[in-house]
Amino acid sequence: MRRALSKCRGKGKRQLCSQFAQLKKFINIFFNPRLSANHIRVYLAKSDHALSIFFVLLPDSLGGMPTNKNAQNRYIIIDKCLCRRNRNWTFNDLLNAINEDYSETTENGEGICIRTLRDDLRNMRSSTHFNAPIKFSRQRGYHYTDPEYSIFKSTLTSDDLLLLHQSLYTLKGLLGFGLADDLSELIQRLERHVPNDVTSATPILQLEVAPDYIGTTYLKPLYIAIRDRTPLVIHYQPYRATQASQIEVHPQLLKPYNGRWYLIALNESKGLHPQNYALDRIQQLSASQLNYRSADSDFGTYFDSLIGVTIPEKSKGVETIRLHITAGRAPYVLTKPLHKSQRIITDTDAGMELELRLVINQELVTLLLSFGPDLRVISPVSLQNSVQKRLKNALFNYK
């Protein structure tokens, strides 16, 4: 488990490792005070993956980053040309430089038209993009009026610094995950370069983080075990058990749900059905001598028909579920659907009837109970009985 980073095996693990590596690279670029806002824009435009929160935040505050990667690549080519100040660049020179790159890097090899280049030059000059000091003269052609300028060198504005500081609060929400040892150092490095009047700003965006959740201490070792395909011995105490017991498992996936983290793993003593283990109930873990075994399940789709993380061993599979929601509560499930399979059957003044396609588990029952008197299970009868039983038990507590 302490071995150096090894090559990830399996499609799901390769994707996770790729995303994590991309995230670390993004953090290093984003938190390098010597880099400009434009440099960050260029990196994001060329990346296949980055923190989605920054795609939300950056466009308005860091100059309206275009979402078109081809446009960003053209800006880079134009910048490279104009930074070669020993040459006078005509419009056709810039057009040819871009088209030469297109012929080498695109499948069809088709170049751009004159209008596209004119739009690119106008966009680069715009304050909503790079605010580049591009001028044209007959003697010098297209050039930067500032001989030191490059889209990679422009400095961060006070608004940019404020945005970066606000983003710190988002990144700090990741510290507890323990998956990036250098994240804290990177945050501190940026904070040393942000002015005091900026650091005193009230955070605009905060992540919801479970307070003092002890399970995150096991995230990193479990992540490494999954990555390195290492079976584990875990000392695990279920919520209703009086003491912990040793279990040998083949870790497959880490998944959060409702403020808790869960390890999805194979337990050979329970067959091939994946089990879930809450991280806050793990007391100790160590490497096992077993040969690692991969699950047959595709975890990319395994949870598509689930609320939560549990598929009961005696599950009937995906079932059609009918629910009635009162008119007053209906807008809540319209704006935040219970599940992606949700569809409206009827919509009247009395309320709304919904249909879902789900595996029935305890997490689903708990979710339905959270609606109290505003929700009624129409079918199946088995789910209706489960909800009724829980409600009767709850009512009994008040007798």
Beta strands 318-326 and 282-287 are unpaired
Considering the domain architecture, whether residues 227 and 335 belong to the same structural domain is answered as no
pLDDT value, residue 2: 37
- Give the whole-angstrom CA distance, residue 178 versus residue 220: 6
Considering the domain architecture, whether residues 253 and 195 belong to the same structural domain is answered as no
- Under 8 Å between Cβ of 18 and 49: yes
Considering the domain architecture, whether residues 58 and 175 belong to the same structural domain is answered as yes
- pLDDT higher for 356 or 54? 356
**Which range scores top for mean pLDDT: 8-17, 153-162, 306-315?**
306-315
| Tokens linked to 86 | 């020993």
Contacts of 45 (CB under 8 A, 6+ apart): 65, 66, 67, 68, 69, 71, 72, 73
- Under 8 Å between Cβ of 99 and 112: yes
pLDDT value, residue 38: 47
- Taking 90 as the threshold, does the pLDDT of residue 16 lie above it? no
Long-range CB contacts (within 8 A, 24+) of 99-107 = 101/73, 101/77, 105/73
Q: Which amino acid is at 93?
A: D
Considering the domain architecture, whether residues 25 and 169 belong to the same structural domain is answered as yes
Asked if residue 359 belongs to a domain, the reply is yes
| Rounded (to 5) percent helix, strand, coil in the chain | 40, 20, 40
Considering the domain architecture, whether residues 268 and 384 belong to the same structural domain is answered as no
Asked if residue 273 belongs to a domain, the reply is yes
Considering the domain architecture, whether residues 133 and 235 belong to the same structural domain is answered as no
First to last CA, the chain: 53
Beta strands 318-326 and 343-348 are unpaired
pLDDT value, residue 55: 35
- Taking 60 as the threshold, does the pLDDT of residue 67 lie above it? no
pLDDT value, residue 43: 44
Confidence bin at 89 (pLDDT 50/70/90): very high
Asked if residue 129 belongs to a domain, the reply is yes
Residue with tokens 């060329």: 46
Considering the domain architecture, whether residues 220 and 336 belong to the same structural domain is answered as no
Considering the domain architecture, whether residues 246 and 387 belong to the same structural domain is answered as no
Q: What is the pTM of this model?
A: 0.57
- Taking 80 as the threshold, does the pLDDT of residue 126 lie above it? yes
Asked if residue 247 belongs to a domain, the reply is yes
Considering the domain architecture, whether residues 328 and 365 belong to the same structural domain is answered as yes
- pLDDT higher for 109 or 277? 277
347 - beta bridge partners?
A: 352
pLDDT value, residue 102: 84
Residue with tokens 């994707």: 15
- Taking 70 as the threshold, does the pLDDT of residue 109 lie above it? no
pLDDT value, residue 1: 41
Q: Give percent of the chain above pLDDT 70.
A: 67
DSSP assignment of 103-165 equals HHHSSS-----HHHHHHHHHHHHSTTTT---EEEETTTEEEESSTT--TTTPPPPHHHHHHHH
Confidence bin at 83 (pLDDT 50/70/90): very high
Of 116-120, 154-158, 257-261, 325-329, the one with minimum mean pLDDT is: 154-158
pLDDT value, residue 30: 46
346: containing domain: 318-396
| Among 269, 287, 305, residue at a domain's last position | 287
Give the residue among 273, 341, 280 at the shortest CA–CA distance from 307.
Answer: 341
Asked if residue 358 belongs to a domain, the reply is yes
pLDDT value, residue 125: 92
Asked if residue 93 belongs to a domain, the reply is yes
Asked if residue 6 belongs to a domain, the reply is no
Phi-psi region of 173 (alpha: psi -120 to 50; beta: other; left: phi over 0): alpha
pLDDT value, residue 215: 79
Of 27-31, 113-117, 305-309, the one with minimum mean pLDDT is: 27-31
- Give the whole-angstrom CA distance, residue 173 versus residue 166: 12
Confidence bin at 195 (pLDDT 50/70/90): low
pLDDT value, residue 370: 95
Q: In degrees, to the nearest 5, what angle opens at C-alpha 395 toward C-alphas 390 and 399?
A: 145
Asked if residue 5 belongs to a domain, the reply is no
- Under 8 Å between Cβ of 82 and 148: no
Considering the domain architecture, whether residues 194 and 46 belong to the same structural domain is answered as yes
- Taking 90 as the threshold, does the pLDDT of residue 80 lie above it? yes
**CATH code: domain of residue 340:** 3.30.70
Taking residues 63-89, report their average pLDDT: 80
| Tokens linked to 69 | 């990667």
pLDDT value, residue 48: 38
Neighbours of 19 (CB within 10 A): 14
Confidence bin at 175 (pLDDT 50/70/90): low
Considering the domain architecture, whether residues 221 and 344 belong to the same structural domain is answered as no
Alpha helices in the chain (DSSP H): 11-30, 37-46, 52-61, 69-83, 91-105, 114-125, 158-172, 183-191, 196-199, 219-227, 330-335, 362-369, 381-396
- Give the whole-angstrom CA distance, residue 252 versus residue 266: 7
- pLDDT higher for 148 or 364? 364
Total count of domains within the chain:
4
Taking residues 142-149, report their average pLDDT: 93
Considering the domain architecture, whether residues 125 and 84 belong to the same structural domain is answered as yes
pLDDT value, residue 44: 43
